[in-house]
Protein backbone atom coordinates (compact mmCIF):
# COMPACT_ATOMS: atom_id res chain seq x y z
CA UNK A 1 0.00 0.00 0.00
CA UNK A 2 1.07 3.56 -0.66
CA UNK A 3 2.48 5.34 2.41
CA UNK A 4 1.00 8.81 2.90
CA UNK A 5 2.50 9.87 6.25
CA UNK A 6 5.53 9.29 8.42
CA UNK A 7 9.15 8.74 7.41
CA UNK A 8 10.65 6.71 4.58
CA UNK A 9 14.09 6.21 3.08
CA UNK A 10 14.99 8.42 0.14
CA UNK A 11 14.86 6.23 -2.98
CA UNK A 12 18.14 7.76 -4.14
CA UNK A 13 20.50 8.26 -1.18
CA UNK A 14 18.58 5.97 1.25
CA UNK A 15 18.61 8.50 4.10
CA UNK A 16 15.58 9.10 6.28
CA UNK A 17 13.12 11.75 5.02
CA UNK A 18 9.47 12.62 5.50
CA UNK A 19 7.19 11.04 2.93
CA UNK A 20 5.83 14.46 1.92
CA UNK A 21 9.23 15.88 0.88
CA UNK A 22 9.20 17.05 -2.75
CA UNK A 23 12.99 17.04 -2.94
CA UNK A 24 15.43 15.18 -0.73
CA UNK A 25 17.11 17.59 1.74
CA UNK A 26 20.23 15.40 1.68
CA UNK A 27 20.85 14.63 -2.00
CA UNK A 28 18.37 16.86 -3.85
CA UNK A 29 16.55 14.00 -5.58
CA UNK A 30 13.13 14.93 -6.95
CA UNK A 31 10.15 12.97 -5.52
CA UNK A 32 12.45 11.05 -3.16
CA UNK A 33 9.60 8.96 -1.71
CA UNK A 34 8.29 8.16 -5.23
CA UNK A 35 4.94 9.60 -4.13
CA UNK A 36 4.74 7.20 -1.21
CA UNK A 37 5.47 4.06 -3.24
CA UNK A 38 9.16 3.85 -2.30
CA UNK A 39 8.57 1.26 0.49
CA UNK A 40 6.76 -1.03 -1.96
CA UNK A 41 9.56 -0.69 -4.50
CA UNK A 42 12.16 -1.49 -1.86
CA UNK A 43 10.17 -4.47 -0.63
CA UNK A 44 10.08 -6.17 -4.02
CA UNK A 45 13.18 -4.76 -5.74
CA UNK A 46 15.34 -3.64 -2.80
CA UNK A 47 18.46 -5.26 -1.38
CA UNK A 48 16.55 -7.73 0.82
CA UNK A 49 13.90 -8.70 -1.72
CA UNK A 50 13.37 -12.39 -2.46
CA UNK A 51 12.99 -11.89 -6.20
CA UNK A 52 13.40 -15.57 -7.17
CA UNK A 53 10.64 -16.43 -4.69
CA UNK A 54 8.40 -13.76 -6.20
CA UNK A 55 9.05 -15.04 -9.73
CA UNK A 56 8.27 -18.59 -8.65
CA UNK A 57 5.02 -17.48 -7.01
CA UNK A 58 3.91 -15.64 -10.17
CA UNK A 59 4.82 -18.59 -12.39
CA UNK A 60 2.92 -21.05 -10.20
CA UNK A 61 -0.12 -18.77 -9.96
CA UNK A 62 -0.29 -18.36 -13.73
CA UNK A 63 0.15 -22.10 -14.22
CA UNK A 64 -2.85 -22.78 -11.97
CA UNK A 65 -4.82 -20.08 -13.77
CA UNK A 66 -3.98 -21.57 -17.18
CA UNK A 67 -5.39 -24.90 -16.00
CA UNK A 68 -8.49 -23.30 -14.49
CA UNK A 69 -9.31 -21.41 -17.70
CA UNK A 70 -9.82 -24.69 -19.57
CA UNK A 71 -10.47 -27.49 -17.05
CA UNK A 72 -10.86 -30.11 -19.79
CA UNK A 73 -7.14 -30.77 -19.33
CA UNK A 74 -7.79 -32.53 -16.02
CA UNK A 75 -9.93 -35.18 -17.72
CA UNK A 76 -7.45 -35.53 -20.57
CA UNK A 77 -4.55 -36.01 -18.13
CA UNK A 78 -6.51 -38.67 -16.24
CA UNK A 79 -7.36 -40.58 -19.42
CA UNK A 80 -3.85 -40.68 -20.88
CA UNK A 81 -1.41 -39.94 -18.07
CA UNK A 82 2.23 -39.29 -18.89
CA UNK A 83 4.82 -37.64 -16.67
CA UNK A 84 5.87 -35.46 -19.61
CA UNK A 85 2.38 -34.28 -20.56
CA UNK A 86 0.59 -34.29 -17.20
CA UNK A 87 -1.49 -31.19 -16.53
CA UNK A 88 -0.72 -29.51 -19.85
CA UNK A 89 -2.79 -26.32 -20.27
CA UNK A 90 -4.66 -25.98 -23.57
CA UNK A 91 -3.35 -23.75 -26.34
CA UNK A 92 -6.51 -21.66 -26.02
CA UNK A 93 -5.80 -20.92 -22.36
CA UNK A 94 -2.13 -20.19 -23.01
CA UNK A 95 -2.88 -17.80 -25.89
CA UNK A 96 -5.39 -16.02 -23.66
CA UNK A 97 -2.72 -15.48 -21.01
CA UNK A 98 0.09 -14.43 -23.34
CA UNK A 99 1.75 -17.27 -25.25
CA UNK A 100 3.92 -15.93 -28.08
CA UNK A 101 4.42 -17.15 -31.65
CA UNK A 102 1.73 -18.60 -33.91
CA UNK A 103 -1.64 -16.89 -33.59
CA UNK A 104 -0.28 -14.25 -31.20
CA UNK A 105 2.14 -12.93 -33.81
CA UNK A 106 -0.45 -13.22 -36.59
CA UNK A 107 -2.72 -10.91 -34.59
CA UNK A 108 0.09 -8.48 -33.78
CA UNK A 109 0.39 -9.28 -30.07
CA UNK A 110 4.01 -8.08 -29.82
CA UNK A 111 3.85 -7.87 -26.02
CA UNK A 112 3.75 -11.67 -25.75
CA UNK A 113 7.56 -11.75 -25.93
CA UNK A 114 7.33 -10.40 -22.36
CA UNK A 115 4.45 -12.48 -21.03
CA UNK A 116 5.42 -15.88 -22.46
CA UNK A 117 8.27 -16.26 -19.95
CA UNK A 118 5.74 -16.71 -17.14
CA UNK A 119 3.69 -19.49 -18.74
CA UNK A 120 4.37 -23.24 -18.81
CA UNK A 121 3.17 -26.20 -20.80
CA UNK A 122 2.90 -28.89 -18.15
CA UNK A 123 3.72 -30.06 -14.66
CA UNK A 124 7.20 -31.32 -15.52
CA UNK A 125 7.94 -28.12 -17.43
CA UNK A 126 7.17 -25.82 -14.53
CA UNK A 127 8.83 -28.04 -11.90
CA UNK A 128 12.16 -27.94 -13.73
CA UNK A 129 11.96 -24.21 -14.41
CA UNK A 130 10.99 -23.39 -10.82
CA UNK A 131 14.03 -25.30 -9.56
CA UNK A 132 16.32 -23.46 -11.96
CA UNK A 133 14.72 -20.13 -11.10
CA UNK A 134 15.48 -20.60 -7.41
CA UNK A 135 19.10 -21.63 -8.05
CA UNK A 136 20.10 -19.30 -10.88
CA UNK A 137 17.93 -16.42 -9.68
CA UNK A 138 19.61 -16.35 -6.29
CA UNK A 139 23.06 -16.26 -7.86
CA UNK A 140 22.01 -13.53 -10.29
CA UNK A 141 20.61 -11.38 -7.47
CA UNK A 142 23.91 -11.69 -5.60
CA UNK A 143 25.88 -10.86 -8.73
CA UNK A 144 23.88 -7.92 -10.09
CA UNK A 145 21.26 -6.89 -7.50
CA UNK A 146 17.50 -7.61 -7.51
CA UNK A 147 16.34 -4.79 -9.79
CA UNK A 148 19.06 -5.48 -12.35
CA UNK A 149 18.29 -9.19 -12.14
CA UNK A 150 14.63 -8.40 -12.91
CA UNK A 151 15.66 -6.35 -15.94
CA UNK A 152 17.95 -9.16 -17.12
CA UNK A 153 15.20 -11.75 -16.60
CA UNK A 154 12.66 -9.86 -18.68
CA UNK A 155 14.99 -8.65 -21.46
CA UNK A 156 16.72 -11.99 -21.98
CA UNK A 157 13.29 -13.59 -22.24
CA UNK A 158 12.42 -11.01 -24.88
CA UNK A 159 15.67 -11.74 -26.72
CA UNK A 160 14.95 -15.44 -26.76
CA UNK A 161 11.37 -15.16 -27.94
CA UNK A 162 12.17 -12.54 -30.59
CA UNK A 163 14.75 -14.87 -32.16
CA UNK A 164 12.37 -17.81 -31.90
CA UNK A 165 9.54 -15.88 -33.54
CA UNK A 166 11.79 -14.66 -36.33
CA UNK A 167 13.27 -18.08 -37.11
CA UNK A 168 10.40 -20.51 -36.52
CA UNK A 169 7.31 -18.57 -35.52
CA UNK A 170 6.03 -21.60 -33.59
CA UNK A 171 3.88 -21.11 -30.47
CA UNK A 172 6.17 -21.06 -27.45
CA UNK A 173 6.25 -20.36 -23.71
CA UNK A 174 8.41 -20.94 -20.66
CA UNK A 175 10.96 -19.37 -18.35
CA UNK A 176 13.85 -21.21 -19.99
CA UNK A 177 14.70 -18.31 -22.34
CA UNK A 178 15.24 -16.14 -19.28
CA UNK A 179 17.05 -18.95 -17.45
CA UNK A 180 19.50 -19.36 -20.33
CA UNK A 181 19.79 -15.58 -20.27
CA UNK A 182 20.77 -15.73 -16.60
CA UNK A 183 23.40 -18.33 -17.43
CA UNK A 184 24.80 -16.15 -20.21
CA UNK A 185 24.89 -13.07 -17.98
CA UNK A 186 26.57 -14.99 -15.16
CA UNK A 187 29.17 -16.48 -17.50
CA UNK A 188 30.25 -12.93 -18.35
CA UNK A 189 29.94 -11.85 -14.70
CA UNK A 190 32.38 -14.59 -13.71
CA UNK A 191 34.86 -13.39 -16.32
CA UNK A 192 34.51 -9.79 -15.17
CA UNK A 193 34.83 -10.70 -11.51
CA UNK A 194 38.07 -12.56 -12.14
CA UNK A 195 39.95 -14.79 -9.76
CA UNK A 196 39.41 -18.47 -9.16
CA UNK A 197 35.82 -17.97 -7.92
CA UNK A 198 34.79 -16.03 -11.01
CA UNK A 199 36.50 -18.50 -13.33
CA UNK A 200 34.85 -21.47 -11.61
CA UNK A 201 31.39 -19.91 -11.79
CA UNK A 202 31.83 -19.03 -15.44
CA UNK A 203 33.06 -22.52 -16.31
CA UNK A 204 30.33 -24.23 -14.27
CA UNK A 205 27.56 -22.24 -15.93
CA UNK A 206 28.91 -23.04 -19.39
CA UNK A 207 28.80 -26.71 -18.43
CA UNK A 208 25.23 -26.34 -17.13
CA UNK A 209 24.16 -24.62 -20.35
CA UNK A 210 25.72 -27.42 -22.37
CA UNK A 211 24.12 -30.18 -20.30
CA UNK A 212 20.76 -28.43 -20.42
CA UNK A 213 20.97 -28.17 -24.21
CA UNK A 214 21.88 -31.84 -24.63
CA UNK A 215 19.04 -32.86 -22.32
CA UNK A 216 16.62 -30.67 -24.26
CA UNK A 217 17.60 -32.34 -27.55
CA UNK A 218 16.87 -35.69 -25.95
CA UNK A 219 13.42 -34.64 -24.73
CA UNK A 220 12.24 -33.02 -27.96
CA UNK A 221 9.71 -30.27 -28.51
CA UNK A 222 12.04 -27.69 -26.93
CA UNK A 223 12.52 -24.13 -28.16
CA UNK A 224 16.25 -24.26 -28.95
CA UNK A 225 16.18 -20.96 -30.83
CA UNK A 226 14.65 -19.31 -27.77
CA UNK A 227 17.36 -20.76 -25.55
CA UNK A 228 20.05 -19.51 -27.92
CA UNK A 229 18.49 -16.05 -28.14
CA UNK A 230 18.19 -15.81 -24.36
CA UNK A 231 21.77 -16.97 -23.82
CA UNK A 232 23.21 -14.53 -26.37
CA UNK A 233 21.15 -11.66 -24.94
CA UNK A 234 22.43 -12.60 -21.49
CA UNK A 235 26.04 -12.53 -22.71
CA UNK A 236 25.50 -9.05 -24.15
CA UNK A 237 23.66 -7.59 -21.16
CA UNK A 238 26.00 -9.27 -18.68
CA UNK A 239 28.89 -7.36 -20.24
CA UNK A 240 27.29 -3.95 -19.64
CA UNK A 241 25.25 -4.48 -16.46
CA UNK A 242 26.97 -3.08 -13.35
CA UNK A 243 28.02 -5.65 -10.75
CA UNK A 244 26.40 -5.47 -7.30
CA UNK A 245 29.73 -5.56 -5.43
CA UNK A 246 31.01 -2.54 -7.38
CA UNK A 247 27.91 -0.42 -7.91
CA UNK A 248 24.84 0.02 -5.71
CA UNK A 249 21.53 -0.06 -7.54
CA UNK A 250 19.99 3.36 -8.13
CA UNK A 251 16.34 4.25 -8.16
CA UNK A 252 16.65 4.73 -11.94
CA UNK A 253 17.26 1.01 -12.47
CA UNK A 254 14.53 0.19 -9.96
CA UNK A 255 12.08 2.38 -11.88
CA UNK A 256 13.20 0.81 -15.15
CA UNK A 257 12.55 -2.64 -13.70
CA UNK A 258 9.18 -1.47 -12.41
CA UNK A 259 8.34 -0.07 -15.86
CA UNK A 260 9.11 -3.43 -17.49
CA UNK A 261 7.00 -5.22 -14.87
CA UNK A 262 4.05 -2.90 -15.51
CA UNK A 263 4.46 -3.39 -19.27
CA UNK A 264 4.37 -7.16 -18.72
CA UNK A 265 1.25 -6.93 -16.56
CA UNK A 266 -0.32 -4.80 -19.27
CA UNK A 267 0.63 -7.52 -21.75
CA UNK A 268 -1.35 -10.13 -19.81
CA UNK A 269 -4.38 -7.85 -19.83
CA UNK A 270 -3.95 -7.09 -23.54
CA UNK A 271 -3.71 -10.79 -24.45
CA UNK A 272 -6.83 -11.61 -22.47
CA UNK A 273 -8.71 -8.78 -24.17
CA UNK A 274 -7.38 -9.45 -27.68
CA UNK A 275 -7.32 -13.25 -27.83
CA UNK A 276 -9.45 -14.40 -24.90
CA UNK A 277 -12.87 -13.98 -26.54
CA UNK A 278 -11.68 -15.78 -29.67
CA UNK A 279 -9.90 -18.60 -27.83
CA UNK A 280 -12.24 -19.31 -24.93
CA UNK A 281 -15.48 -17.82 -26.19
CA UNK A 282 -17.41 -15.02 -24.57
CA UNK A 283 -19.09 -11.79 -25.57
- CATH number of the domain enclosing 205: 1.20.1540.10
Residue range of the domain that includes 107: 50-277
Q: Do 214 and 264 belong to one domain?
A: yes
Q: What is the maximal distance between C-alpha atoms in the chain?
A: 67
Please write the tens of the pLDDT for every residue from 16-53. 777 777 788 777 666 666 766 677 777 777 777 899 99
- Asked if residue 91 belongs to a domain, the reply is yes
Q: Do 34 and 98 belong to one domain?
A: no
Q: Do 15 and 120 belong to one domain?
A: no
Q: Do 35 and 157 belong to one domain?
A: no
d(CA 272, CA 283): 13
Q: Do 234 and 264 belong to one domain?
A: yes
d(CA 189, CA 101): 31
Torsion angles phi and psi, residue 57, rounded to 5: -60, -45
Prediction pTM value: 0.88
Helices 146-167, 251-280: axis angle to 10 degrees equals: 40
pLDDT below 70 — which residues of the chain? 1-5, 11-12, 28-33, 35-37, 77-78, 80-85, 220, 282-283
Q: Do 68 and 171 belong to one domain?
A: yes
Q: Do 148 and 173 belong to one domain?
A: yes
List of residues 6+ apart from 86 with CB closer than 8 A: 77, 122, 123, 124
- Asked if residue 282 belongs to a domain, the reply is no
Q: Do 38 and 82 belong to one domain?
A: no
Which DSSP helix (H) or strand (E) runs through 17? strand 16-18
- Asked if residue 1 belongs to a domain, the reply is no
Q: Do 81 and 128 belong to one domain?
A: yes
Q: What is the pLDDT at residue 283?
A: 45
Q: Do 88 and 212 belong to one domain?
A: yes
Q: Are 249 and 73 in contact (CB under 8 A)?
A: no
Q: What is the pLDDT at residue 1?
A: 55
> 3-class SS at 100?
strand
Amino acid sequence: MRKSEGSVLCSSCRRLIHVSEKTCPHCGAVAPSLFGFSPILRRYLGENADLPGLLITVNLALFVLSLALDPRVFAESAQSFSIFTALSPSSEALYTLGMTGGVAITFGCWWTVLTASFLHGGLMHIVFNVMWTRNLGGVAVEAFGPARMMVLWLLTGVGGFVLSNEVSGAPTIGASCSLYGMMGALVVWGRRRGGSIGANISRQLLVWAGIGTLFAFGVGGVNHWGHLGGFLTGLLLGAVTPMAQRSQETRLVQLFALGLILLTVGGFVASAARLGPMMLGGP
